[in-house]
Each structure stands twice: as structure tokens, then as C-alpha cells.
Structure 1
Amino acid sequence: MNFTLYIAKRYLRSKSSNNAINIITIVAAIGIVLGAASLFIVMAGFAGLKDFTLEFTSVVDPDLKAETAIGKSFVLTDDDTQKLKEIKDIALYSKIIEERVAIALDDKNDIVTLKGVDESFASVTTIDSVIVQGSWIAQDTPQVVVGWGISNNLSLGVLDYSKTLSIYVPKPGKGQITSTKNAFNSVKAVNVGVFDINEKMNDTYIFSSIALAQRLLNYTPNQITGLEFRLVKGADEDAVRSKIKAVLGNRVLIKNRAQLNDALYKMLNTEYLAVYLIFTLVLIIALFNVIGSIIMMILDKKKTLNTLFNLGATIKDIRRIFFLQGSLMTIFGGVIGILIGLIIVILQKSFDLVMITPSLAYPVTIKAENFIIVFLTISILGVLASKIASVRITKSLVNLH
């Protein structure tokens, strides 16, 4: 065994005759363990919160979406439809029409996004799982399903035929507007359901049949604003994207789920990085104790180091002893901290120790990359701290004669 490693391990296990040094060493070790455990727990908590947030977007977001690249709409020809059916990795797709509209009920009104969908939409997404009142729309009917926020804002109930919802959209064209009737297309609709996804969706979207949206916007039967695709499990997303692009050409832009929620993903990733950097700073502060404990140990072992030097150990060897001692302390402390953090995360998942609301436990997710990130962070910082402390050893310090 390398003698520097052997002595470093002996120094790590042995107690000093000076009780103050023992206390400093214990405090440094506890700081490493708590720092590593805290970083792991926070990263698991943030990963759980991220998954919890994105879970709601997957309810209405498809695997791939083709949006019009030029103008507001495009025409899907029969030839396009046939070619899309021949792409084996597409399980289903839905034709959609999206447009900003004005809605009114009695003396209340709002500006929302109308999303007209065909009969395949409920199979492409899992929209039916978030219908909290009523039911999903039937095709070729003047029915709509609204968000919880819109329902509250307009005091709009379900299946209340005495209160039909008026939907307005400006008519295309030029020239002076002579009357309100000539300025807007409008339809009457009955609300048959309320969905609850998240605050933004609840306040923004209403769903209707694609036929109602086409009638409101004066679209032809094959005129749409986009296509939403559900892929076969295990399908190569990039390959399918290329095949769809080959069929629809430059008329569309094709986006995956992450690209559809680009702002949300960027916000979550930025917050994740910020949390990591904050807790890394806490670790750096904790590792100052490691530097202090090593320096105190060096001063305490001056006579022993002099003996090693006289026996032929070089300054480089002696520095390596304390470098290894500090590195071993941080690595072992980091592993223990990660294990403690893992136990706490498992307990949270199993027993709901921390609650956000009386019915909702704080979400946590155990990810393999978190183990690697925490271990590498504590190891790298520990090695740097040990290096800083060990270079304090000089020939004049160990050579007492």
C-alpha cells in the first residue's frame, strides 16, 4: 500500500491530543454530510416539482405538432391525408383550428383562445382525464368545454341551456365598419364541460368541435391551423418529424412537447441551475471548515512530520498525506450525505412527510444524474479544499533543526 495513503487513513481515523482540533474536524465532517444531503434533497425536490409541473402540459400537448408557417391556416389535401396515414410511426393525428376570440355571456365578456378539434383529439391527448364537470364535446354540435377560470369569470355552468355562450371573431376584409353585425362573425354555444389543467390553461382555452370553429372563421372543410400527432411508443421522433415535413413541406413548423412549452422549460431549467448554484455556495462555505481542520492537523503533527521528513519523506509526500486526508474526508462525507438524503427522499415518497396542501404531498423524484452531480460537486470541491490546505506545508515547517 502507498505509504502516503496509509498515513492519511490513519490520520483520518485517529484523534488528536488537542480536543479543539477534534471538535473542528467533527464540525467539518458534519458540514460535509449535511451539505451533501441538503443538495441531494433539494435537487430531488426540484426534479419532482419539475415533473409535477410538466405533467399537466402533457395532458393537452401532443408528441408532435405541425403549426402553420405562413399565415394563419393551410389546406390539408386528400393526398396529404393519405401520405400521413402511410407513416407507420404515427399512431393517430388530430386536425385543429386555433384562434383568439371574444366570448360573452349576459353582461360579462372575455378574450380567450378557441381550439376546434376533431374526433381524434381525445385519443391523441388525455383531455378527458381533466374534465372535472360535465363531459367532452360531441362533434357537429354547438358544444364547448371551457377552463375552470373562464367558467368562474363568466359564472358559466354546465348544460345550462338558458345561458348560451356567444363567441365572436372579427370578419376578414377591408373598408369601413358600418355596424357591429357586419364587423363580427358569431356563433352560439352551450357549455357541456369544465376542465382543470393549470391556471394559464384554465383562463385561456375553450374547446369546440372543428366544424363550429370552421363555421365561425369561414374556413373550408380542409382548412386548418395545425395537426397534432401521437406517436407509436418507442418511435424515433426525429425520423417521424422528417417524414411529416416531407409530406407537408414548408407550409408548417413541426414542434415537439419541449418546443411547445419552450418558455416553461427555460424557466424551470434556469430555476434548477439557480438552486444548484446556491447550495453549491453553501457547500463551499462548509468546506472552509475542512481547510481549517487540515491546517490545524498539520500544526498539531509538526513533530511527526519532522520524523517522516528525517526518514526520507519528501515535502511532496507530506503534502500528499494531508491532501489525501482531506479528499477522503469529503468523499466519505459526501457518500454518507447522499445516503441520508436518499433515505429522506424515499420516506417523503412513501409517507408524505411534507405537504403542500392537506391533500397534496411535496413531489420528489429520484434521478440517477442527481447522484452523479452531487457526488462530483462534493468531490471536486473537497479536492480543491484539500489542495489549498496541503500546499501550506513547507520545508521550514517540517524541518525543526
Structure 2
Amino acid sequence: MNFPLYIAKRYLRSKSSQNAVNIINFITFLVIVIGSAALFIVLSAFAGLKTFSLSFSNTFDPDLKALPATGKVFSISQEEQDQLKNIQGLANYAKELEERAYLTYKEKSTIAYIKGVDENYRSVTGVDSTLYFGNWGNSEFEGVIGIGIYNLLGVPMNNRQPLEVLVPKPGKGSLSQQGFNSKPYDELPLTVSGVYAVEENLDKKYVFTQLPLVQDLLQKDSAEVSGINFKLDEKADVEAVREAVKTVLGDKVLVLSRREQNNSLYRMLNTENLATYLIFTLVLIIALFNVVGAIIMMILDKQQNSKTLFSLGTTIKELRRIYFIQGLLVTSFGGLIGVLIGSLLIISQLLFGWLKITPSLAYPVEYSVMNLFIVMGTIVVLGFISAKIASSRISKKLISI
């Protein structure tokens, strides 16, 4: 039997003759349990928030997207489109053309993006699920707007007076050459057929309509687009499909994965997650100073026992190991109980949604085994350091007092 481990377990179970030492040990254990539970709950909450936040952007973002390497648009020939259809692992693709535009309706106005999409767009992205009311339109001059734009401009659906979409004309010569009576912008009248709702920023961003209308509005030909959205098969190799798309379209485009399309959002969420972890780890570090104090108190309380063990042949190294193992057991056991308590709270939130953001929306959390290992690893490492510091106080001078 491992002698230091046996003695450490006995010390862990036994109570001190001094009530103050028992209280200090209990508080130390409680702090470890609460700290580890809090760290696990916060990491699970941030994981849920991350997934929840990305679900909004993923509605509009495809698996892969081709964007112009330079400028705002690029051309895609019929031959290139036929080659794209033959790429293994590529389920479908959709072309789009978007530009900032000035929207106006009855003396109310705002700036948004006019996005022309082809007939495949709704099947390639998840935009169909965002339709709040209305439909995607059947006639030529119909469009779908975000609920933010809808509320701001007060545009009724299927109204005789359409929403006006204005974009500046491409610069060709001076104003005098174009004529003083000519308008410096092109306009497109749209009847609102539907309204989508996702989240506040996206709800004020887009007006969807048919691709040929936007190409005509921006004076582009039918081959010019600002992006191509790709939907992959479930088991497709993303990198293999990306390389195949690059081979077909060449250097005129950049092919971005879903993560690369939202690189700044991913970076922000990861930074927030790391900052939260470091803050709570700092709290745990401060809390685990209690472990050092508790072990030192235990060393002083068991001083006579240590003298007896030393007299019976136990070395200083073994005595240090006894208190080191005791400290490690306290922190590990406390961390495990804390993680179990945190797990029960997270699972209950997933099952019952007892904590609400709104009356109909439960606070998003995510149970992750990785977070469990991160918390336990943090507790064990900090416990190791604390126990090592405290156990190093054992010396021949202390034993001989």
C-alpha cells in the first residue's frame, strides 16, 4: 500500500480536535466546489451563446461562398456553371448580386442592401425559415424586406404605391454630358410580398428580389454577379470542394468557408470566451490560496502526529507527500462535485428552460465534455500548485519544534 496516500486519506476523513481548523477546511472545500461549478456554468453559457449567435449568421451564410478577389463583381460563364454542376460533393449553388441602396417610401427613407438572388438561393441557404409573414413573391417586381425596414418605413404589403430602391448611376462622363435633366440615380419600384425576421442587425440590412432585376438596376449583364453560394453534401470534404471550385473559377474569386465568412464574429466570440475563462480562473487562483492556508493549518494541527511518524522512520519527503496528496485530493474532489452540480444545472436548463431571455426563449446553454475537461484540468493544476507550495513548509526544523 502507498503509505503517504493511506495517511492522506485518513487525514482527509478525520476531524481536527480544534473546531477552527474544521471550519477552515469546510470553507476551503466549499469555495472549491462553488468556484468550479461557477466556471463550468459560465463556460457552458458562453458556448450556448456562441452557437445561438452563429445560428443567426448561418441562416444567410452558405457552406462555401465565392467572392470577387478584386472589385465588387466578377463574371461567370455558362461553361463555368456547367463545370460547377459536375463537382463531386457539391449539392447546389446560387448566384447573387448585391449593392448598397437608398430605400424610400412616402417621405421615409433608409440605407440597406438590395440583394438579387436566383431561383436556387432559398434551397442553398436557410433563408426560407426566416420568413415572418407573406411569401417570396411570384411576380417580377416583388421583394422581401427585413422586419426592421418594414417597421422603419411602414411599407404595407401588396400596396399600389411601391417601395422605391435608388442606386447611383455608374460614372460616365460629366453631368453636363449626361444632361441637366437626367437623374443621377437608377430606380427600381418593388412591391413588398413578404417580411423576414432573424435579428436586429440583419433585419435592417437586406431587401431580396430577383437577380435579373438587380442586374438591370446596376447596369450589369447577366453573367456578372457579386457572389456565388454553395451548398455541400452532408459527407462532402469541404477542402476538396473548395479546391475544385477554385480550379473552375480561377484567381478571380476567393472561396471562403462559413467560418471565414464570419471571421470577425468568431474572433470576437472566442476572445470573450477566453477572457471570461481567465477572469474566473483568476477568481479560482485567489480562492485556492485558501487551500494553501488550510493545509498549513492542518500541518500545524498534526504537528505531533508528524513528529511520531518521523520518529517511526518516515522521511521528510514522505511527510511532504502526505500533505501534498491531501491537498490534491481536496481540490480534485471539490472540483468534481462542483462540475457535477454545474452539470445538473446545465442539463436542467436544457430540459426545462427555467431561465428565460424572453417569455418564449430560454437562455441558450450548451453541455460540452470539453468544458468539463477544461474545468477539471484547471482545478487539478491549480490544486497541484497550491498543495506543492503548502507541503513544502514541512521541514526538520518544524518537526523538531
Tell me which interval the TM-score lies in, with the shorter structure as reference length: over 0.9
Partners of 1:12 and 1:325 within 8 A in 2: yes
Partner AA of 1:151 in structure 2: Y
For 2:73 and 2:296, locate their aligned partners in 1 and report how far apart those are by CA, in whole Å. Answer: 71
Matches within 5 A, 1:175-186: 175-178=173-176, 179=180, 181-186=182-187
The 5 A counterparts of 1:2-401 are 2-138=2-138, 141-160=140-159, 162-178=160-176, 179=180, 181-400=182-401
The alpha-carbon deviation at position 38 of structure 1 amounts to 0.9
> Structure 2 CA distance, aligned partners of 1:220 and 1:267?
38
1:177 Cα shift?
2.5
Distance between the aligned counterparts of 1:193 and 1:378, measured in 2? 53
> What is the CA distance between 1:267 and its match in structure 2?
1.2
Compared CA separation, residues 271 and 204, structure 1 to 2 (3 A): same
Secondary structure at 1:137 match in 2: coil
Mapped to 1, the partners of 2:369 and 2:335 lie a distance apart of 16
Deviation, structure 1 residue 355: 1.1
The one-letter code matched in structure 1 to 2:315 is: T
Structure 2: tracts of 5 or more residues without a match:
none
Q: In structure 1, what is the Cα distance between the partners aligned to 2:100 and 2:162?
A: 19
Could you tell me which runs of 5 or more consecutive residues in structure 1 were left unpaired when the two chains were aligned.
none
Partner-residue secondary structure (3-state), 1:379: helix
Alpha-carbon distance, 1:180 to partner: 6.9
CA distance in 2, matches of 1:189, 1:247: 35
Contact kept in structure 2, 1:309 and 1:399, CA below 8 Å: no
| Residues 133, 158 of structure 1: 8 Å contact kept | no
Structure 1 residue 308, shift from structure 2 partner: 1.3
CA distance in structure 1 between the partners assigned to 2:172 and 2:220 by the alignment: 18
SS of the residue corresponding to residue 288 of structure 2 reads: helix
Aligned residues, how many?
398
TM-score normalised according to structure 2 size: 0.97
Whole-Å separation in 2 of the counterparts to 1:64 and 1:212: 25
TM-score (norm 1): 0.97
Q: Aligned partners of 1:246, 1:87: CA distance in 2, in Å?
A: 10
CA distance in 1 between partners of 2:142 and 2:61 (Å): 22
Counterpart of 2:370 in structure 1: which amino acid?
Answer: E
d(CA) in 1 for partners of 2:182, 2:344:
66
The CA distance in 2 between the partners of 1:114 and 1:189, in whole Å, is 11
1:159 maps to a residue whose letter is N
Q: Secondary structure of the equivalent of 2:295?
A: helix
User: Per the alignment, in what secondary structure is the counterpart of residue 113 of structure 2?
Assistant: strand
Q: Percent identity?
A: 48
Find the residue that maps to 1:235 and give its secondary structure.
coil
Aligned equivalents of 2:214, 2:69: Cα separation in 1:
20
Tell me how far apart the structure 2 counterparts of residues 371 and 158 of structure 1 sit (CA, whole Å).
50
Distance in 1 separating the partners of 2:181 and 2:50? 46
Distance in 2 (alpha carbons) for counterparts of 1:267 and 1:181: 46
Q: CA deviation at 1:82?
A: 1.3
Q: Please, which moves more after superposition, 330-339 or 282-291?
A: 282-291
Q: Residues 275 and 180 of structure 1: is their aligned pair in 2 closer, same or farther, counting only changes over 3 Å?
A: farther
Letter of the 2:166 counterpart = Y
User: Matched residues in 1 for 2:72 and 2:294: separation?
Assistant: 67
> Shift in Å at residue 192 of structure 1?
0.6
Partner secondary structure for residue 37 of structure 1: helix
Render the CA deviation track for 1:266-289: whole Å, top value 9, x for unaligned.
Answer: 111111111111111121122111
Distance 1:366 1:289, change over 3 A: same
Cα shift readout 1:280-325 (whole Å, capped 9, x = no counterpart): 1121122111111100000011111111112222211111110100
How far is the alpha carbon of 1:79 from its aligned partner? 1.3
Q: Deviations over 1:231-282 (max 9, x none)?
A: 0002111111111001101110111111111121111111111111111112
